[in-house]
Amino acid sequence: MLRWTVHLEGGPRRVNHAAVAVGHKVYSFGGYCSGEDYETLRQIDVHVFNTVSLRWMKLPPVRITGLECAREVPYMRYGHTAVLLDDTIYLWGGRNDTEGACNVLYAFDVNTHRWYTPRTSGTVPGARDGHSACVLGKAMYIFGGYEQLADCFSNDIHKLDTTTMVWALINARGTPARWRDFHSATIIGTKMFVFGGRADRLGPFHSNNEVYCNKIRVFDTKTNCCNTPVVNSLCPKWC
């Protein structure tokens, strides 16, 4: 039978971007592509993929009037995270070749496509990239990453309560996960499962003794306790 197919070309060429599913659409924010300019503080680009029509669309840049409005829109970056809560996408972290890493929280309204910077308080995480972010209820959890100021890998867990916009550093009990960046973290039930990522054999500082983690670490958000579950099958290869 003869039939038409749809080309999926036209999307961004990216690595270390952040993407969020909103209904039948996927919103992709920023990321790194060789040959592109990451020194000029241009606006982050937003591409939208429609899973019904199988078409990409790039949103037009936000019209900016004045310095204060410019601060409401994140600059182009990579190694950041994005999560969806209700009708708002929260973008955090990442770095640019000029500004370095960032710890400003940006919010993107999926209905109006407008950016703003919510006012937050509490123990704000240090600027970093390569961290993970996931959502449980009205809270966003940030784990790990590479901290710019300390110049080392992190294994901290931070929580943002989006009802109060207060950050908190979690005092996790048990055996903490290894310091790492560019891992994944997934919420199932009330537990956060951390897997993979780049670490250093000797500790939090980068000493060119890189390892890539292959153990599952579990953080229980009810008890604030970390543990390593017993996995009864072959794990992905440790590198």
Question: Over the stretch 34-79, which tens digit does the pLDDT of each residue have?
Answer: 888 888 788 999 999 999 999 999 999 888 776 555 588 999 999 9
Query: Quick one: pLDDT at residue 235?
Result: 67
Residue at token pair 């972010």: 133
| Owning domain of residue 49 | 16-117
What distance in Å separates the CA atoms of residue 108 and residue 165, rounded to the nearest whole number?
Answer: 15
Within-domain flag for 110: yes
Within-domain flag for 31: yes
Strands 157-161 and 166-169: antiparallel
Within-domain flag for 46: yes
Question: Over the stretch 164-209, which tens digit does the pLDDT of each residue have?
Answer: 999 999 999 998 899 999 999 999 999 999 999 999 999 999 898 9
SS3 193: strand
CA atoms within 13 A on the CB side of 53: 7
Within-domain flag for 27: yes
Partners of 135 in the β-ladder: 140
80 vs 64, higher pLDDT: 80
Query: Quick one: pLDDT at residue 3?
Result: 76
Query: Quick one: pLDDT at residue 238?
Result: 57
Within-domain flag for 147: no
Question: Over the stretch 168-177, which tens digit does the pLDDT of each residue have?
Answer: 999 999 988 9
Give how many domains the chain has, as a whole number.
1
What distance in Å separates the CA atoms of residue 22 and residue 28, rounded to the nearest whole number?
Answer: 11
Within-domain flag for 38: yes
Mean pLDDT of 14-36: 95
Within-domain flag for 93: yes
